[in-house]
A and B are shown apart, each in its own frame.
Chain A
Amino acid sequence: MNDLIPLMVIVPIIAAILLNLFIKYNTTIKILSFLVAIVLPIIPILSNYGLHYFGGHAPLMDNGTLLNSLPSYISDGPLSTFHIGITYSFESLQKILIFFLFVVGFLCIFTTIGERKRTPGSYMFLMLMGLAAVTAMLLSDDIFHMYIFFEIAVVAQVGIILASTDNQRYEIAMKYMILGSIGGPILLTGIGFLLGLVGSVNITDIVYVVRNGLVNANSPVFLFSFGLIFFGWLYSVGLPPFHTIKSAVYSKAVPSGSALLQALSVVIFISLGIAIFRIYSSVPFIGVFIIFFSLCGMILSLTMAIMENDFKRMIGFLAVGELGYIGLGFGLGTKLSLTAALFQGLNEMIITATLFIGFGVVLYMTKTSDITKLGGLIEKNPKIAIIVLLGGFAMAGVPPLNGFQSKLMLVQSALSDNFPELAVIMILISIVTFMTFIKAFHSVYLKPKPKNLVIENSDVPRSSVLVMVVLIAICIVLGVVPTLVTDGFSGFVGGLI
């Protein structure tokens, strides 16, 4: 049923608007948001692969009667393959990623309902808008449409930060918006150069035009547009020089919000990254640029993470650093490395959500995130400590969890592509990630409890524990049976190269 494809964007948007209408009725909001969050992951599973043309405008190629009635300079030219309206393309990559994105979204919404007595309708609105925007980015085959939904996702992300109670949230939101208001228009200008060169913003059309030599792929305009769009990509995903602001953004939101924010970032990374990879694969040294910035992101974020004393900020830096692994996979550009990169992106989405929610329980109990003031919490709830430890193992890549599988694939692809240095760096960074995590874990759970530590809420919400168990279960399943998703990813990548 191809008609279900646009529903993946429409349902969350309509639900978000409805939630905003019922803002005064607490029970209605709880039931409605829970129902919508449960329905959402079902849609991508039921939907079939295919394309959806908005307004029904299929390319002329697919419309035989109209094509025959046109003069031959149109029907034989490249114009007949151009896509007229916005096109959504739903393939195996989209199916897997959207399903897991909606699962993470559902779990974040569920955690919020459980942790707060009064569920804020506007907060749910922002979460659902973020989910809808990012889903549209992943589905869209149109780079301008991607930009628009990216900006919507940014506004939703800022709203999610503002909904927290952190003291510095307004300052960080302002900085994010100021940097974003420079990065966003620069991305748009890059898209403008592409539009001026090709005459279309549809990615498939641009790829067709470039591959068939209808525009000069070495022309300065094309290279300039690559520079601008690449810069916009760096901003949108939080690679350097944007890693500081991105980690600050993660650390200022409510933990369940941070879990959603990083899931949104990962999907933005993958969708824009694939668009850039498809359009500019002919640009010389494109892999060098991606690898350089990914390496900088990994090294700088990890070294900052290990120096950090605030565990929210620490996980924020770790999340940004892990993005570098996906970038390395994109930069290597082989079939194995791209599959590994997509798999790593999926894993990171789940693992970082586990860590954010797991340490969020600590924040819920003690109302502090400074690890120098914490300690001895393993006596209070050893079960949660074990789940968080498993999450850390998964992030560092300990078998049999999913992080191990994707990092192993990345290392293998680097070795087989004659870049053993990259493999060494990946393993080194992985070790430092583990060390950083153990530092946080030791300070929060294992160190003797400081005398002045007051535990304000000792009853952990059951919903949070349940959510963490589900997330860890997904980690274990994906770690034991990675072919569940890698087959789909490698099928998609096979069509890409």
Chain B
Amino acid sequence: MDLYTMICDSIRGFKSNIRKDPITNQNVSSAMAAELTIVSTVLTAAIMLRHLNVVLTILIVLGLVLYLITGMPLISKFKREQSDSLNKMMFYMILTLGILVTSIYWGFKP
């Protein structure tokens, strides 16, 4: 399957992933806008790694492109993970605390 059909298929898949609503058109268009925002901003942000290493940046950007396109309906996953459930908030909070403290403490140790 070529890349173009894959993108088209995933965009068609939006409708099934979005909640059934009287004005579904609007929801689908906003979901697509959100999807495109995520893809474009994440890719643009990844280019900033060029300040560290150019070869690494090229590899990471290519990897991200492949990942983002193959896993295309991303926004439903994002939305599910950012719900108002206390357990999910707690999980991400502890995760962030762990990563932050570990990377700062061991990452910069002289």
Contact = CB atoms under 8 A, between A and B. Distances in A.
Q: Do A and B bind each other?
A: yes
Interface of A: 172, 175, 178-179, 182-183, 186, 218, 220, 223-224, 226-228, 230-231, 234-235, 240-245, 248, 283-285, 289, 295, 298-300, 302-304, 306-307, 309, 372, 419, 421-422, 424-425, 428-429, 432, 435, 439, 443
30 contacts: A175-B84, A175-B89, A178-B86, A218-B108, A220-B109, A223-B108, A224-B105, A226-B104, A227-B100, A227-B105, A230-B100, A231-B97, A231-B100, A241-B89, A241-B92, A242-B89, A244-B83, A245-B89, A283-B108, A300-B78, A302-B34, A303-B37, A304-B79, A309-B21, A372-B21, A421-B47, A425-B44, A432-B33, A432-B37, A435-B33
Interface string B11-53: 0000000000111001100110110011011101101100000
A425 B41 CA distance: 6
Contacts of A283: 108
Nearest to A171: B84
B96 to A, nearest CB: 5
Contact of B96 (A234, A284, A435, A443): A234
Given A183-B93, A231-B97, A245-B84, 6 more contacts: A224-B105, A284-B108, A304-B82, A307-B79, A309-B21, A429-B37
B45 to A, nearest CB: 6
A428 B33 CA distance: 11
B93 to A, nearest CB: 5
Contacts of A227: 100-101, 104-105
A218 B110 contact: yes
B91 to A, nearest CB: 9
**Chain B CB within 10 A, most for which of A183, A307, A309, A425:** A307
A306 B84 contact: no
A244 B89 contact: yes
Contacts of B37: 299, 302-303, 306, 428-429, 432
A300 B82 contact: yes
B90 A299 contact: no
User: 3 closest pairs, A vs B, by CB?
Assistant: A241-B92, A227-B104, A303-B34
SS of A interface (majority): helix
A183 B90 CA distance: 11
A167 B86 CA distance: 17
Contacts of A242: 89, 93
B105 A223 contact: yes
B75 interface: yes
A429 B100 contact: no
B8 interface: no
A245 B90 CA distance: 11
Contacts of A228: 101
B34 A179 contact: no
B34 A307 contact: yes
B31 A186 contact: no
Nearest to B105: A224
B95 interface: yes
A303 B45 CA distance: 16
Contacts of A245: 84, 89
Nearest to A372: B23
Contact of A241 (B31, B48, B96, B104): B96
A241 B45 contact: no
Contacts of A299: 37-38, 41-42
A441 to B, nearest CB: 13
A60 B78 CA distance: 56
B26 A244 contact: no
A68 B38 CA distance: 64
B82 A172 contact: no
B100 to A, nearest CB: 5
Contacts of B92: 240-241
Contacts of A234: 96
A302 B34 CA distance: 8
Contact of B93 (A241, A289, A307): A241
Contacts of A422: 48
Contacts of B93: 179, 182-183, 235, 241-242
Nearest to A450: B22
A175 B84 CA distance: 9
Given A248-B84, A303-B34, A303-B75, A241 B95 contact: yes
A244 B105 contact: no
A242 B27 CA distance: 25
B48 to A, nearest CB: 5
